[in-house]
A = this chain, B = another copy of it.
Amino acid sequence: MTGSTHSKPRRRPSQARSQDTVNCILEATAHILRSEGFRKATTNHIAERAGVSIGSLYQYFPNKQALLRALTEKHLSEMQQQIAVRLSDSLSMPVPEAIASMVDVMLDAHALDPALHAVLTEHASQILPREEQNRLENLYTDLVLGYLNQRSAEICCDDLKLASFILVHSLETLTHRAIASTDPQQNEWISNASLRRHLIRLFTNYLSGQ
C-alpha cells in the first residue's frame, strides 16, 4: 500500500521547503495588496512580511512582475476552477436557468477573495501584458458566445457577439463593484439576494425581450 490516499509525506524535503517559501511569499504579497494597496507592495516589504530575505524572494521569482503575475494567475485559476466546472453545467440549461446559474457562479467566484480581486483587476495593465488581459477576457466571452449560439433559437438578438460582450462585462463589473466595494455604506444596502434577482432580470429580459 504505497499510495494511501490520506498522506503525501514523501515529497522530497527540499522541494517542500521551497514550496513553503513560495507560498509564503505569494500569501504575503496577497496580504499586502489586500490591506495596504498596490503601491505598498514593494519587494522588500513583501519579503519582510513573508519572513524571508529579499534574496529568497528573487530565488523564486526573477523579478517583481513575475511575482505579481504568478499571484494573479494563481488567483484567477482558483476563480476559474470554480467557474469552469459550474459554468459547463449551466451551458446545458435553457436560457433563464442558465443565466441564473451564471450569475450565481460569478457572485460566488467574486466572493472568494474580493479585496485581492479588486486590486489585481485594477492594476492588471501593470501586471499582465495586454495580450494576456485580452486572452482572459475572451475566455469568458467566448464561452458565453458559444452558449448563445447554441441557444440562438430562444434568443431575440441580432448580434450574439455583442450580447456576450455585454453580458460578461456588466456581470463582471456589477458583481465586482457590489462585492468588492470597501465603502461600508454601499456594502450595506446591496444584498446578494436582491443583486442576484436584479441581474437575472437584467439579462433575461435583455435576451428574451420582445
Contacts and interface: CB of A to CB of B under 8 A. Distances in A.
A24 interface: no
A166 B198 CA distance: 9
Nearest to A118: B125
Contact of A209 (B178, B190, B199, B209): B209
Please state the number of chain copies in the assembly.
4
Interface residues of A, number: 37
Contacts of A139: none
Interface stretch (A94-102, A146-154, A200-208): A200-208
10 contacts: A37-B125, A134-B185, A159-B198, A161-B189, A163-B198, A165-B178, A166-B202, A169-B173, A173-B173, A209-B209
Given A169-B177, A202-B202, 20 more contacts: A122-B122, A130-B182, A134-B183, A158-B194, A159-B198, A162-B194, A163-B198, A165-B177, A165-B178, A169-B173, A169-B174, A170-B170, A170-B174, A170-B202, A173-B173, A198-B206, A205-B205, A205-B206, A205-B209, A206-B206
